[in-house]
Amino acid sequence: MIGGEIVDGLVTEEEHFFHEGSSMRKIGETYYYVYADMERGKPTALGYATGQSPLGPFQYQGIIIDNEGCDPGSWNNHGSIQCFHGQWYVFYHRSSRGGRLHRRLCIEPIQIMEDGRISEVKMTSQGAGEPFVPGERILGYQACGLKGCCYIDADADYGEKLAHICQGDEAVFRYVRSGDGWKEIGMRCNGSGEIEVYFGHRLAGTVNVEQGECRCGAFAMEAGEYELTLKFRKSQGLEVLEIILY
């Protein structure tokens, strides 16, 4: 509002892919307007536009993060950016439990480039923390990318778990890191099934689960940082509670 006059149309869906849930930050002399972004067809992304005044004009700059693929029912994304101890972060939400209304707060570090642009980042399982290391528990509900029918659901003991797993589903955990490589995987599950374990695009081994008991799969994978992907080849009531790499 300027002098009692309402100013609208600062950002639009046609020009800026604006959907809803906006907030603004001033960095240097530039105003960053962050909002749910429709560029990819659904408002699952946080996008942003910049201007030299809080009243614009604003130029669309792109997407900061997209939560598409975190849940079969994923629909929108709300959040913004903030600096803490010299590091910029994007705060956003993801869906869980197979619907639009169950949401979890998430955070990822971001980098503001010299030209003022923000590079898009992927959703991770560790958020603001470091990648998972050998011997560290990775909980099933920390899967950040899901394909198929599976989704995060409630669990009496763990709080939440990766459940509703069907044959052909996939779950991604970002990221795992080791300076010495990996030789074994252990899993705690419910139900039975067969799981292929991938580091990046490389198959490391197969885990057989019988009535919740995991037969630890032995394999060799060299040192590095990877996406950990579980591909479910068989499932009989299979649910993933936790994973430990050694």
- The verdict on 55 and 150 lying in the same domain is no
126 domain-assigned: no
Q: ω into residue 32 within 30 of 0, thus cis? A: no
The number of C-alpha atoms within 13 Å of 234 and in the hemisphere containing its C-beta is 11
Instruction: Please indicate, yes or no, if residue 6 is contained in any of the structural domains.
Output: no
Q: How far apart are CA 217 and CA 197, in angstroms?
A: 9
**pLDDT computed for residue 154 by the predictor:** 96
Last residue of a domain, one of 47, 75, 110: 110
The count of domains in the chain is 2
pLDDT above 70 coverage of the chain, percent: 97
Print the domain residue range for 35. 13-110
* pTM listed for this prediction: 0.93
Per-residue pLDDT, 163: 98
The lowest-confidence range among 2-6, 43-47, 232-236 is 2-6
Q: What value, to the nearest 5°, has the Cα angle with vertex 31 and ends 27 and 37?
A: 115
DSSP-based three-state secondary structure for 67? coil
pLDDT-derived band at 218 (thresholds 50, 70, 90) equals: confident
Instruction: Say whether both 146 and 236 belong to one domain.
Output: yes
Domain boundary among 110, 126, 155: 110
Angle made by CA atoms 175, 180, 182, in degrees to the nearest 5: 65
CATH number of domain containing 157: 2.60.120.260
Beta-carbon neighbour count of residue 155 at 10 Å?
17
Q: Are residues 89 and 25 in the same domain?
A: yes
The answer to whether residue 3 is domain-embedded is no
pLDDT of 3: 59
Q: What is the pLDDT of residues 90-119, one digit of tens each?
A: 999 999 999 888 999 999 999 999 999 999
Q: Are residues 235 and 142 in the same domain?
A: yes
Q: What is the pLDDT of residue 52?
A: 97
Q: Is residue 84 part of a domain?
A: yes
Residue 232 lies in a domain: yes
Is 168 a domain residue? yes
- Shared domain for 106 and 141, answered yes or no, is no
Same domain, 168 and 106: no
Calculate the average pLDDT of the chain.
94
- Does the pLDDT at position 2 exceed 60? no
Residue 187 lies in a domain: yes
**Residue 170 and residue 97 share a domain:** no
The predicted pLDDT at position 110 comes to: 98
Share of the chain above pLDDT 90, in %: 90
Assess if residue 119 is contained within a domain: no
Residues 142, 226, single domain; the answer is yes
What is the pLDDT at residue 215? Answer: 64
Give the model's pLDDT for residue 217: 66
99 and 143 inside one domain? no
Cβ within 8 Å of residue 114, ≥6 positions away? none
State the Cα–Cα distance between residues 168 and 232, nearest whole angstrom: 5
